[in-house]
Amino acid sequence: MIIIIMMAGFYTVISQGNLIKKIAGLNIFQVSVFLLYISIGNVKDGAVPIIESDVTLYSNPLPHVLILTAIVVGVATTALGLALVVRIKESYGTIEEDDIHEMDNSL
Amino acid sequence: MIEQHISLLIVAIPLVLAPVVAVLPNGKLPWLATTVIAWAVFMLAWQQLEMVSGGTSISYELGGWPPPWGIEYKIDTTNALVSLIVAGIAAITMIYASKSVTREIQESKISLFYAAFLLCFTGLLGIAQTGDIFNLFVFLEISSLSSYALISMGKKRQALTAAYQYLIMGTIGATFFLIGVGLLYAMTGTLNMADLAVRLPDLLGHGTVNTAFAFIMVGFALKLALFPLHLWLPNAYTYAPSVVTIFLAATATKVAVYVMLRVIFTIFGFSEIAATPADEIFLVLCVGGILIMSFYAIYQTDSKRLLAYSSVAQIGYMMLGVGLGSMLGLTATLVHLFNHALMKGALFMAIGAIVYQIGSSQIKDFAGLGKRMPWTFGAIIIGGLSLIGVPGTAGFVSKWYLVLAAIEAQSWLLVIVVLVGSLLAVAYVWKLVEVLYFQDGEAGTTEVKEAPLLLLIPTWALVVANVYFGINTDLTVGTAETAVKLLLGGGS
């Protein structure tokens, strides 16, 4: 399941010519990795990792904490990427990769 | 007090002060602050290297949590050398920046520029210092995100597309690395590098571990622009502001090479790598990179792009040493890390000085400038000689070790590749020299004068360093040999 999402995202990044769609693909790709981490943290029959007196087996909370950092990084990346797209749109007037290549070769 | 916390301070000082610089008023003040910070960190990094040069290592526990639970900064000779390269180049680049940035960056963005520069600096130092593999990912993203922003500040609009392209490829690389780290964590339950090295040998050959290794390698191959994953690099270096090009060319890829070394030798151990086809793949890619990228460099019409392609070829030399995996090969890699930072720094600074004067980096616009800018031209000649590997310059020392390593491994083909690569370097350096010196300039170029002193001093500081480390190899080779002993001893 995770691998399907991963490949879908990765394929979008590579195949799409639209810069916004590329970033969406990148996001899907990253989210699949978040899911991968979270699935690693699951312990069979483990309870939610909050200390209670009658529970002895907990899920591993560490991957969640790690991925929280990665989510923040992902947000920052997306924000920066979108900001760049805005600037590209301002100076080129288009966000299609092929058009941009064409314009720069003619310069 | 300072000695005890030195490894943390190196990373923390620029990190904490970056937001402070961001709110300083535009003008000279942000530059002054950044310069002071860079030099202070350089001094600390120097002291750190002296502390570990005997082969001992420092372990710093963040927040007092003992490893493997807490994040640990583990400094041995290798980290200390890499930190010193990063800090040294940053310190010298800052002198250069005062003039260059005022010319190339909009007045209103100057303090933000320096803040981003400091963040990038923090990230690169953090990667070098940390002993925790997830912490490494965080620092990797800090340095990458700020470098995308820095590149996009270039004057031409292609800088934006270059930064975007780098963002996409860089993020894919970092995410691959993250997948690899996740799989390693799933197998071992630890993120501390030293702890991983202890737990992994029992699991070697397991499918998941191999997959993790492959993901980490591909991720970082993207980051260090190993041929054929280098597509982002030429554009990024060509269109970024001069200061950013100098800093990134001299440090960012070097730090990525260092991470490769860490992962291969400290965490996995070279014997594991030798069991997979990874080392052969490295050798093939490096050979391809050296030859093809050098050819590409010859046909470039833009001087920055020419040097960028040459950088990709030089990364091939560094990874060649890793692929060989011998004592000599690794020494060559580490020495070349250091020397290439010096020579590419000097060359990009000299080109930056020309761009500062004439406002173009196209080679055809350089005609006849050699006679009008004799000092800049001299820097290009000596930097170029070092790039080629002429005896008496730093480039010779690293190529010498690389050839020795190839001979030791009985692979004559690699010896030939290194030599042919050097010949190709002669061709593209000559292309610059020919235009600069032997072609007469057009009528309009007569008023071009020598570059300002503030640009020349850092350029020549690096040029002199090139010659100095070509003659006196105690510091570079000595340190590299100690580092290699630790890497090979600790890993296998």
Tokens of B250: 């001299």
Q: What is the pLDDT of residue A82?
A: 92
**Among residues 46-75 of chain A, which lie with CB inside 8 Å of chain B?**
63, 66, 69-70, 73
B58 in a domain, yes or no? no
pLDDT tens-digit series, residues B243-279: 888 888 888 888 888 888 888 888 887 776 777 777 7
Can you tell me the distance from the alpha carbon of B339 to that of B88, in angstroms, rounded to the nearest whole number? 12
Q: What residues in A contact B191, CB-CB < 8 Å? A: 66
Q: Does residue B179 belong to the interface with chain A, where contact is any CB pair within 8 Å?
A: yes
The pLDDT of residue B489 is 66
Give domain status of residue B400, yes or no.
yes
Beta carbons of B152 and A10 less than 8 Å apart: no
Answer whether B141 sits within 8 Å of A77, measured CB to CB.
Answer: yes
CB contact under 8 A, B182 and A36: yes
Nearest chain B CA: its distance from A79 CA (Å): 10
Residue B248 lies in a domain: no
- A72 contact residues in B (CB cutoff 8 A): none
Are residues B164 and A13, on separate chains, in Cβ contact within 8 Å?
A: no
Q: What pLDDT score was predicted for residue B444?
A: 53
Read off the pLDDT of residues B305-342 as tens digits, 9 standing for 90 and up.
888 888 888 888 888 888 887 788 888 888 888 888 88
Contact A5, A39 (CB under 8 A): no
Containing structural domain, residue B320? 277-492
> Which of B119, B155, B157 is the best residue to mutate to test the A interface, defined by the most A CB atoms within 10 Å of its own CB?
B157
Preferred mutation among A5, A84, A86, A96 to probe B, highest tally of B CBs within 10 A:
A84
A76–B contact, CB cutoff 8 A = yes
Whole-angstrom Cα distance, residue B170 to residue B139?
13
A91 CB neighbours in chain B (<8 A) are 157, 160
- Span B53-76, pLDDT tens digits: 766 777 777 777 776 677 778 788
Task: Give B288's Cβ-side CA count (13 Å radius).
Answer: 11
Contact B161 A85 (CB under 8 A): no
User: Which candidate from A63, A69, A87 shows the least CB-CB separation from B160?
Assistant: A87
Torsion (CA) B147, B63, B48, B178 in degrees, nearest 10:
-40
**Distance spanning both ends of chain B, measured CA to CA:** 35
The distance from CA B345 to its chain's CA centroid, rounded to whole angstroms, is: 10
Residue corresponding to tokens 């020397």: B339
Q: What is the pLDDT of residues B348-367, one digit of tens each?
A: 888 888 888 887 778 777 77
Is any Cβ of chain B less than 8 angstroms from the Cβ of A29?
Answer: yes
Mean pLDDT of chain B: 83
- The closest CB to that of B149, out of A10, A80, A92, belongs to A80
Between CA B207 and CA B442 the distance in angstroms is 64
Query: Which residues in chain A come in under a pLDDT of 70?
Result: 104-107
DSSP for B73-130, written as a single string? EEE-HHHHHHHHHHHHHHHHHHHHHHHHHHHHS-GGGHHHHHHHHHHHHHHHHHHHHB
Please tell me which of the candidates B137, B145, B185 has its beta carbon nearest to residue A80.
B145
Contacts B145 to A, Cβ<8 Å: 73, 76-77, 80
Number of domains present in the structure of chain B: 1
Q: Is residue B203 part of a domain?
A: no
Q: Is the pLDDT of residue B99 over 50?
A: yes
A80 contacts on B by Cβ (under 8 Å): 145, 148-149, 167
| pLDDT, tens only, B143-152 | 999 999 999 8
Residue A31, token pair as written in the block? 């989210």
**How far, rounded to the nearest angstrom, does the alpha carbon of residue B59 sit from its chain's CA centroid?**
25
**Per-residue pLDDT, B101:** 80
d(CA A59, CA A76): 29
The whole-angstrom separation of Cα B234 and Cα B255 is 18
pLDDT given for residue B120 in this prediction? 92
Question: Which of B167, B179, B182 lies nearest to residue A81, judging by beta carbons?
Answer: B167
Region B102-124: mean pLDDT is: 86
Across the interface, whether the CB atoms of A10 and B168 are under 8 A apart is answered no
Position B492 scores a pLDDT of: 36
Q: Is the pLDDT of residue B185 over 60?
A: yes
d(C-alpha B406, C-alpha B401), whole Å: 9
List, in order, residues 6 or more apart from B127 with CB less than 8 Å away: B136, B139, B140, B143, B255, B258, B259
Cβ contact, residue pair B160, A91, below 8 Å: yes
CB-based contact B227:B312 (threshold 8 Å): yes
* Residue B138 to residue A81, Cβ atoms within 8 A: no
Does the beta carbon of A31 lie under 8 angstroms from any beta carbon of chain B?
Answer: no
Which pLDDT score, from 0 to 100, does residue A106 have? 44
pLDDT of residue B146: 92
Is position B419 within any domain? yes
* B141 touching chain A per CB within 8 A: yes
Band of pLDDT at residue B446, cut at 50, 70 and 90:
low
CA–CA distance, B154 with B242 (Å, rounded to integer): 8
| B225 pLDDT tier (thresholds 50, 70, 90) | confident
Residues 6+ apart with CB under 8 A from A10: A25, A29, B172
Percent share of chain B, pLDDT over 90:
4
**Comparing C-alpha atoms, which of B335, B309, B325, B320 is closest to residue B287?**
B320
CB within 8 Å: A76 and B179: no
Residue of B172, B183, B235 to mutate for A, most A C-beta atoms under 10 A: B172
Q: Is residue B473 part of a domain?
A: yes
CB-nearest to B152 from A23, A87, A92 is: A87
Report the pLDDT value the prediction gives residue B331, as an integer from 0 to 100: 85
B402 CB within 8 Å of a chain A CB: no
**With pLDDT > 70 as the criterion, what percentage of chain B qualifies?**
95
- Does B145 contact A76 at a Cβ distance shorter than 8 Å? yes
Residue B176 lies in a domain: no
Residue B11 within any structural domain of the chain: no
pLDDT of residue A105: 58
